[in-house]
Structure 1
């Protein structure tokens, strides 16, 4: 082999090696199973990234890397590049994000809800700097479904929650909310909830219908109550140092994948709640599922003002600005949905 040939071969090998070095493996953890809403979002994100770049995305469902607090620490430290976590678990880091636990703030109407998450200035402009202060790049937030109570005894009024030990996430405002409802809020990591219900350590918990069905919470409770007080919200984040160091091309790949996954997950949820409740009825015909009337919801709804005030006290320096912008965004979403409905008719 001549020197010229050797040099050419070496350069070719270096070029190939350099090209291979550009491809990275990104680690993404979330709080649910692969076949649940966060898992579906993550799988769509992975597919889009891998279809449009040389990068690989490794997915880590709930439990594979520990509890929620563990994956957040790993995301902040850079062990994970991406994490999907509810504001319910980031409340200690970002107190303003607790606004999503003010009862009856988010609309029940799905069109209004989706419009809010698509267009909210609070989500797109006010929250990102707060997440950045914690070493996180906020990529998107999305709803996962109407929150329902599952209990061992029927609930038709706040009095029915008196002395009920009700599992909540480790979040001060949701604790406040269930205190206002009359329950005894009991913060527990998710991995302990089924056993705690089974042994009677707690008597209730809340989650969207798909999660109640997939985690079989109906096996250890007898009643599902729909008070219409909230919709479960989650946030997808990247480690900020990692994200800032990405090439412009890779940042665009990430943003495009997030946008595609966002549209996909909203479409995926259409009809999911009723489908999940039907599966629960089939698995446990004795399960009682109750949608509270507006009259029955009224005493629960009356607690919202006190919880909102508590949010302003504990929600951080930007709490008032966040709440005001959220309300403006929600009003805009309502008007947009009404205009679309009128045009359709």
Structure 2
């Protein structure tokens, strides 16, 4: 074999190896972490379909491996940090668990602002540019809201504000805690996983949460009264991605992921929460428990107290250099798209 031919073969082999390395580097398995059960409706209706579609759109180059039940990060409050540090490539969590990190988005869960998950989620995306600074350290894939919270109690039916006095009510975030306090109750911050045992054993008297948690945590077994229609807060959620993980994808892969996420995926999640809330209340009825709708005259008292929470939020935002009034006006305007 001539020296020239040998050199040509070596160059060809090097080129083939180089192409092989490029092809290998274009494949990626993304780790998606969440702290819920693998049977949770978000995994079934949002996360797994996203994984399936992304694999199909990229010809199997980009796959998502889901780690449920806190396998990568047990704490619900740690999900944002889990994405930022790269422990997981993608995480699902609640902004309310670290409210101070999301001063703009928390206005989307303010009391009495929205009547449904679809309305709140639409408003969030209509104002995505105003909320974007909350997510600048990560790649925002989706953000959405649940249905407005209800109050579930074991022994005391909530029909008037006087019924709230002195009750220990589980809350998920600072906004919910402020509402409970304004209504005369004592807020008790607890992770969702502890709600069932806490109300069953009397550690708390009740729970403020959206009705989707009824089925997820079997709350119809331990609560007896479910007060609906209050001007309460809701819960906001996020699906975010580590910036370096996103930048490591090819341009075509990024485009495929962008096409499958964003507003449309968020509305799918909101719809799922609405479905689960309705199912939860159906379970309450089937269990023979009591659903209470507050009388209109009494509802005005609840609205007045809830408004003090909004005013407090606006003052705190102003102190932090956030134009809360502009955000609230924008959110109210954005909600009109669903009415």
Q: Which residue of 1 aligns with 2:126?
A: 120
TM-superposed CA distance for 1:325, in Å, is: 2.7
CA distance in structure 2 between the aligned counterparts of 1:247 and 1:160, rounded to whole angstroms: 58
Alignment counterpart, residue 211 of structure 1, candidates 188, 213, 219: 213
CA distance in structure 2 between the aligned counterparts of 1:230 and 1:51, rounded to whole angstroms: 38
Q: Larger radius of gyration, structure 1 or 2?
A: 2
Alignment counterpart, residue 243 of structure 1, candidates 241, 246, 251: 246
Q: Which residue of 1 aligns with 2:306?
A: 304
CA distance in structure 2 between the aligned counterparts of 1:61 and 1:280, rounded to whole angstroms: 27
TM-superposed CA distance for 1:139, in Å, is: 2.8
1:90 correspondence with 2:88: no
Aligned length, in residue pairs:
328
CA distance in structure 1 between the aligned counterparts of 2:141 and 2:15, rounded to whole angstroms: 39
Q: Which residue of 1 aligns with 2:182?
A: 180
CA distance in structure 1 between the aligned counterparts of 2:49 and 2:320, rounded to whole angstroms: 33
Judging changes above 3 Å, is the alpha-carbon distance between structure 1 residues 69 and 112 closer, same or farther for their aligned structure 2 residues?
closer
Deviations 1:122-148 (A, max 9, x none): xx112222322xx32333311222322
1:66 correspondence with 2:70: no
Q: Which residue of 2 aligns with 1:156?
A: 159
Native 8 Å contact 1:158 1:299 kept in 2: yes
Deviations 1:1-45 (A, max 9, x none): 995667656644553343122211111223433443432222222
Native 8 Å contact 2:150 2:226 kept in 1: yes
3-state secondary structure, aligned to 2:176:
helix
Native 8 Å contact 1:150 1:225 kept in 2: yes
Native 8 Å contact 2:31 2:67 kept in 1: yes
Native 8 Å contact 1:36 1:211 kept in 2: no
Alignment counterpart, residue 130 of structure 1, candidates 134, 143, 147: 134
Alignment counterpart, residue 28 of structure 1, candidates 9, 12, 32: 32
Deviates more, 1:259-268 or 1:236-245: 259-268
Q: Which residue of 2 aligns with 1:75?
A: 83
3-state secondary structure, aligned to 2:112:
coil
Q: Which residue of 2 aligns with 1:99?
A: 107
Judging changes above 3 Å, is the alpha-carbon distance between structure 1 residues 167 and 319 closer, same or farther for their aligned structure 2 residues?
farther
Structure 2 stretches lacking a partner, 5+ long: none
TM-score of the pair, normalised by structure 2: 0.85
Structure 1 stretches lacking a partner, 5+ long: 339-345
TM-superposed CA distance for 1:297, in Å, is: 1.9
TM-score of the pair, normalised by structure 1: 0.83
Native 8 Å contact 1:126 1:322 kept in 2: no
Native 8 Å contact 1:99 1:323 kept in 2: no
Native 8 Å contact 2:144 2:238 kept in 1: yes
3-state secondary structure, aligned to 1:18:
helix
1:15 correspondence with 2:19: yes
Deviations 1:100-126 (A, max 9, x none): 3421022x1566445424x422xx112
